[in-house]
Amino acid sequence: MAASKTKQCKQCKKNRSERFFRSPKARYCSTCLKANRSRATHDRRVSETYGLEPGEYAVLFAAQGGKCAICKESRRERLSVDHDHKTGLVRMLACRRCNNYLLAKGARDRPEVLRAAADALENPPALRILGERYHIDFKDSR
């Protein structure tokens, strides 16, 4: 059985079967082409919406170690460009959870709300006032 011919992609450097290349002259494999197109589209969208220069999302992403600036977790989907909703200032890349729920819906750009949230988690008012009370589902598991 003849092994299928492979060719090295100039971008990912993988040796891939020829069927992953659009033509015999193609330098990049179809996976890389698709990723490049999607990156270019994203770069354009980010520059139109947030005023980042092409490639700046990638610079910021790399500087943040590919992680959300808040929860420090990495996500499969792209991180959101967080911006100040009054001034438009770009602040960080954050995952959708942190950006949408924590910053936009919850704190609505007020850092004092986030500080209060941290204080309330570390020093719960209900514990202080009522003593230990437990959510009913957790009663038996204690």
Residues binding Zn ion (CB under 5 A): 9, 11-12, 29, 32, 68, 70-71, 95, 98
We find the least distance from the C-beta atom of residue 17 to Zn ion, in angstroms, to be 12
Integer CA distances (angstroms), 141 to 14, 30, 121, 124, 126, in order:
51, 52, 21, 21, 21
Comparing CB distances to Zn ion, the nearer of 32 and 46 is: 32
Comparing CB distances to Zn ion, the nearer of 30 and 47 is: 30
Describe the chain by its helix, strand, coil percentages, rounded to 5: 45, 10, 45
Other Cβ atoms less than 10 A from the Cβ of 82: the count is: 23
Those residues with Cβ within 8 angstroms of residue 91's Cβ, 6 or more apart along the chain or in another chain: 82, 83, 84
We find the least distance from the C-beta atom of residue 7 to Zn ion, in angstroms, to be 10
Comparing CB distances to Zn ion, the nearer of 52 and 98 is: 98
We find the least distance from the C-beta atom of residue 127 to Zn ion, in angstroms, to be 27
Backbone angles phi, psi at 17, to 5 degrees: -60, 150
Comparing CB distances to Zn ion, the nearer of 11 and 64 is: 11
We find the least distance from the C-beta atom of residue 98 to Zn ion, in angstroms, to be 3
